[in-house]
Amino acid sequence: MFKPALILSLLLAAGLASAADPVTEAMQKAYAPYRVALYKTNGKSQEECQQAIAQAQEHWNQITAQFGASRPAPYDRDPAFAGSLAEVNKVYAKAAEEIGKNQLKEAHETLEHAREVMSEMRRRNQVIVFSDHMNAYHAQMERVVIDGAKTLAEPNGMLQLTAQAGALEYLAARLKSEAPAEYASNEEFSALSKAIDKSVADLKAALFSQDAAKVNEAIGKIKGPYSKMFSKFG
């Protein structure tokens, strides 16, 4: 198993999406240890999760200290900025407490909220980074993975799920078209992108076959490729 510090160094080495302002740049850097914490809480090592959340907290505390009282454009006119900084700190504190109790699954769910807060901070200030495209794919993917079996059981469920797969296919294409140059030229990113495309294509093929068993099997293979890309480039 990789140690959080090693994973973090690999994430940073992969390169960060370019940011046009110091706040977004700092948030992008702080997002790398956040991804490590999110990834680790999907595992079973309490010690590694504790190390990961501590690093995530440290990086976010640096943002709070640097920009909490004064921040440059475009965030300088955002009245909710300080509240969002505090909200992420609360999420990390709650996740750290849950990790301390070895409640890793609960901590993972708690940490998901931090992604939403950061995304909303950027949205309010008209800032878009690659992570936002990853988040859009993730939201649709969760809809398919979590609700897929239930949707299949509904009237015209196969058709409904086919429509959902179409949205997923579109968002998968955006992961390539909106990738920063340093990602687009990265062989590992290209391989992971192809794996995501294949998982969606396999789901479409299963849906077109009208075979519920094949559809459920394909749904079970959707999350893995995304998780690998997110942990390194998300």
Here the tokens at position 112 are: 């998901």
pLDDT beyond 60 at 14? no
Q: In which band, very low, low, confident or very high, does the pLDDT at 25 lie, cut at 50, 70 and 90?
A: very high
CATH topology of domain 4-124: Four Helix Bundle (Hemerythrin (Met), subunit A) (1.20.120)
Determine the Cα–Cα distance for residues 232 and 227; give it in Å rounded to an integer. 9
Q: Where are the domains of the chain?
A: 4-124, 130-233
3-state secondary structure 41-57: CCCCCHHHHHHHHHHHH
pLDDT, one tens digit per residue, over 188-209 is 999 999 999 999 999 999 999 9
pLDDT, one tens digit per residue, over 100-150 is 999 999 999 999 999 999 999 999 999 999 999 999 999 999 999 999 999
pLDDT mean over 223-230: 92
CA 124 to chain centre: 19
**In this predicted structure, what is the pLDDT of residue 234?**
82
> DSSP E strands: which ranges in 116-231?
none
Whole-model pTM over 0.85:
no
On whether the CB atoms of residues 180 and 17 are closer than 8 A, the answer is yes
On whether the CB atoms of residues 5 and 36 are closer than 8 A, the answer is no
Determine the Cα–Cα distance for residues 175 and 28; give it in Å rounded to an integer. 17
The CATH class of the 130-233 domain is mainly alpha
